[in-house]
Amino acid sequence: MEALRGRFRRTAELVARAARLPGACAQSPASHLAAGWVQLAHCQLSEARREFDRVGRALAVAPDACLGAIRCLLTGRVAIAEGRPDRALARLAEARATAAGIGWLEHRVMIATSAALLASGAPAAARAVAERAGDSPDAAVPLARALLADGDHRAAAAALQAVLAEPAAVPADVRVEAWLAEGQLAYASGDASRGRRSLARALRAGDREGLSLPFWLSRPWLVPILRRDPQLRDAYQRLLKPLRIAARATGPAAREAVHSLLPEQLSPRELDVLRHLAAMRTTEEIAAMTYLSVNTIKTHLKSIYRKLAVTRRGEAVRRAQQLQLL
């Protein structure tokens, strides 16, 4: 249920606790299903397949229609991530047949089917399926993507509006996908500033839960953007690891040469705060992540601005980029 809510950090904790249970309890199909779901969210596709294979073997002995349908749904999503939309559609058709009568699960299968159709190059069909899924936030994202693929930017923006208006009420994984879709739309419309803000929000939300999969699925448009934006790319290297975009190499000699250009060197704590700035985190978020008070972070920011000879956050990040401090 935590995985259904997109709360994969909590899901992983429960999976670890289940693994410590005695005997057959630790090997239950539900436990392996949740473990595979976490691996899928982390974009560890081979590991996810292995867990789902274990689920399949367990269900062959003790069938369970609901768990079987979820397994088909998730193996379909694995196939989408692997670039095999035809296989995904076959698995999702099996999930649809198995999930008959389970309304919420049929809804999930329709959303995944829309994504598979879009991946297969059929935006019109993807749009039709997403529209049949209703007005829920998780259906709005594939609908927006299908509309964007069809070149209807205005309708895509309207579809995302309901999700972005109250993001806190939306499951974490759907929220990440919505911000990513909004970022793609903004970049495609020529609004790079708004696109970066949306992408930064997606990265922040994804980082909390370790959600690498949405970024992997967005790589055709996302990788070129991140290659031109090392601040965001380098700030979220662990999350973006599946995309294999290397961070810039900066050796000790390079850092020493850069520091010599500054009238006063930044302290290790100030460099840490600067990295959080590059990730577009708020003062409150930086304070929480560094276990410091908001006032202490503000003091560090003033010192950073003074040492870099800037007056604003954006200027500080750009200056640090020029000096290879990030």
For range 85-107, the mean pLDDT: 93
Question: How many alpha carbons fall within 13 Å on the CB side of residue 119?
Answer: 24
* CATH number where 275 lies: 1.10.10.10
Picking from 252, 269, 175, 245, the residue whose alpha carbon sits closest to that of residue 214 is 175
Same domain? For 199 and 156 the reply is yes
Q: Are 104 and 69 in contact (CB under 8 A)?
A: no
Picking from 50, 46, 98, 36, the residue whose alpha carbon sits closest to that of residue 72 is 98
Show which of 221, 244, 267 is a domain's final residue: 244
Tokens at 118, concatenated = 């879009």
Residue type, 190: G
pLDDT-based confidence at 101, cuts 50/70/90? Answer: confident
Question: How many alpha carbons fall within 13 Å on the CB side of residue 49?
Answer: 8
Q: What is the pLDDT of residues 47-71, one digit of tens each?
A: 999 999 999 999 999 999 999 999 9
Distance CA 184, CA 220 (A): 10
Domain span including residue 185: 135-244
Same domain? For 194 and 221 the reply is yes
In a domain, 27, yes or no: no
Angstrom distances, CA of residue 27 to CA of 3, 17, 19, 24, 246? 18, 12, 8, 5, 38
pLDDT (0 to 100) of residue 259:
47
Query: Of 325 and 157, which is predicted with more confidence?
Result: 157
In a domain, 33, yes or no: no
Picking from 143, 118, 125, 144, the residue whose alpha carbon sits closest to that of residue 133 is 143
Total domains in the chain come to 2
In a domain, 216, yes or no: yes
Q: What is the pLDDT of residues 111-151, one digit of tens each?
A: 999 999 999 999 999 999 999 998 888 899 999 999 999 88
- Give 36-40 contacts, CB < 8 A, sequence gap 24+: 36/74, 37/3, 37/8, 37/11, 37/74, 38/3, 38/8, 38/11, 38/12, 40/74, 40/77, 40/78, 40/81, 40/213
Same domain? For 282 and 313 the reply is yes
Q: Which phi and psi angles does 210 have, rounded to 5°?
A: 70, 35
In a domain, 160, yes or no: yes
In a domain, 76, yes or no: no
Which residue has tokens 């429960």? Answer: 14
- DSSP-assigned letters across all residues of 73-97: HHHHHHHHHTT-HHHHHHHHHHHHH
Written in H, E and C, the secondary structure of 184-198 is: HHHHHCCCHHHHHHH
Picking from 177, 190, 167, the residue whose alpha carbon sits closest to that of residue 145 is 177
pLDDT-based confidence at 163, cuts 50/70/90? Answer: confident
Same domain? For 236 and 259 the reply is no
